Structures are given as structure tokens and as C-alpha cells.
Structure 1
Amino acid sequence: MDIEDIKNKISSGGLKFTHQRMVIYEAVSQTHSHPTAEWVYEQVKENNPSISLGTVYKTLDTFVNAKIIQKFIDTNGVMRFDAVLEAHSHLYDKETNEIRDYHNHQLETLIKEFFEKNKIKDFEVEDIEVVLKGHNKQKIN
């Protein structure tokens, strides 16, 4: 994703494009590991020493409210961020705590259709998150 793409993404959320917003969005969007705010801060602070952890937190919350990124709490209660907005599932490695995206259109369609046909009384489903827990069978040495 180049600077113009990032600028368009931030602007599409109704936000003013700033350098700080650019580097924070870039850090989130260029990793597939679903980073924490602290991780994002560590990535951007070396080249942006005036940025604070508080700014990173506020900016990430602003992005979530503008629907530019999404946030979720992992199984350890840690807040994580994801730049992928379309429906997808997550693979959670219980040994390493790594979270990866898992895209399977057939699975997403099946779940969506199930809940369209099987409404839950007095409850409106807005979003469905599937987390598959296990471990990576291929160990990297």
C-alpha cells in the first residue's frame, strides 16, 4: 500500500490526513499479525520520536470509530487491531499466541446464511467472528 492509498483510506473515513495517522495506519496495515497498540508504537517511534503511546492509542480508536480498522480482544484479553475489514476468520496459535487471517468465502457464506435463516429471538446479529484455535504444525527453525 503506497502513501496515496493510505491517504485515501484515511480520508474515506472522514478524517484529516496527517503524518502521524499515516505511519500508524501503515504499521497496522502492513502486518498480518493483528498488532497491539504497543507493537504499533514500537514500530513507529524510531522514525517518529515525538509520537507518544497515548497518540497511538487515540489514533487507533479514531480509526476504529471511522471504520478504517477493526479491533478485537484476543483469548488472553489483549486488544488487537486488524486492517482487514471484509468478513474473515482468525487462526489462533495457542503455543505462540500468533493470530493470522483465514479467508474462506464458503465458510463465511455458510455462517451468514445460517443466521439469516435461524434468527435469535430478541437479538440482532451485527457481526460474526470465528476464531479457530490450535497450533502451527510446521515449526520454523
Structure 2
Amino acid sequence: MIIVMKTIQEIAKSISESGLKVTPQRVAVMQAFEKLNHPRAEEIYKEVYNSIPGLSPTTVYNILDVLVNKGIVKRVKTESGVMRYDAVSDHHHHMYCLSSDRVEDFFDPELDKILQEYFEKKRIDGFKIEDIKLQLMGKFE
């Protein structure tokens, strides 16, 4: 698992570079990803509530929608239908625990290369692959 801790300046820069205004609310939501693993919106709200007076759950949902639309954050839907969010920008796959709904990142550049080479050789008629993401489902021991 790759853990990259971002400074407030790095978070502000990524927000700004996406064309968004840097606000304390957006920065706080992004900072929550440094502490939470694939959080639900409610978990993000609980994490930032004390640091941003007057912040509402609706504001958190709206910020997440904007961050998703700008490609800063991705939605990750679990097998049980729970919507989680992921701010890891490096290419990775996900491991889903079928018993706990836990989601973990899985990084494997060697596997990525194998998959890319496979689909370059074995094309699918009428379909252009733009990205490959695996969902590994099982149970953590």
C-alpha cells in the first residue's frame, strides 16, 4: 500500500489546478482522506465537522460531487451498494472484503503491464479500452 501524505499547500494546489476555488471546506474534505481509508461521505463529515463551524452534510456531499467531476476524487461503490470515495491518484485496483465491506488499494505495476500488453494484442471489436481497473473480491484474514 502506498501512503502519500499531502501538505495543505499540496492539497490547495491540486484544487486550484483543477480550476476550482480553494476554500477551507474543500481543503478540510481533502485532508480527511489523509486519515480515512475509502471513506463514506458521512465519515468525512464527522472528520471535518469540528474544524469547520456550520458545515453541513449537504455541503460535504456537494464538495465531493465537485471533486469527483474534476477528477480529484473517485467514487468507489462496494458490493453491498455503499458509496465510498478515493483520493489516491496513482493507478491502482481495489480489494473488497465481502464480509466487512472494507476496501483497500492494490498496487501492482507488473500486473498493470501484463493487462495492458494482453489487451493491446487481443483487441475487443468495437470497443476502445481507456483504463483497466480490477476489483478483487474476497475476505481479509
TM-score by length of 1: 0.88
Which residue matches 2:18?
A: 13
1:26 matched to 2:31? yes
Return structure 1 stretches of 4+ with deviation > 6 angstroms.
Answer: none
Moved more, 92-101 or 109-118: 109-118
Quote the Cα distance in structure 1 between the aligned partners of 2:62 and 2:78: 20
Check conservation: 2:79, 2:98, Cα contact below 8 A.
no
Length, aligned pairs only: 136
Structure 1, unmatched stretches of 5+, are none
Pairwise CA RMSD of aligned residues? 1.4
Structure 1 residues 32-83: Cα deviation after superposition (integer angstroms, max 9, x where no partner): x211111111111122231111111111111111111111211111221111
Q: Report 1:1-141 matches (<5 A).
A: 1-31=6-36, 33-137=37-141
Partner SS, residue 137 of structure 2: strand
**2:67 maps to amino acid:** F
**Aligned residues with identical type, % of pairs:** 37
Structure 2, unmatched stretches of 5+, are 1-5
Quote the Cα distance in structure 2 between the aligned partners of 1:19 and 1:4: 12
TM-score by length of 2: 0.88
Check conservation: 1:28, 1:34, Cα contact below 8 A.
yes
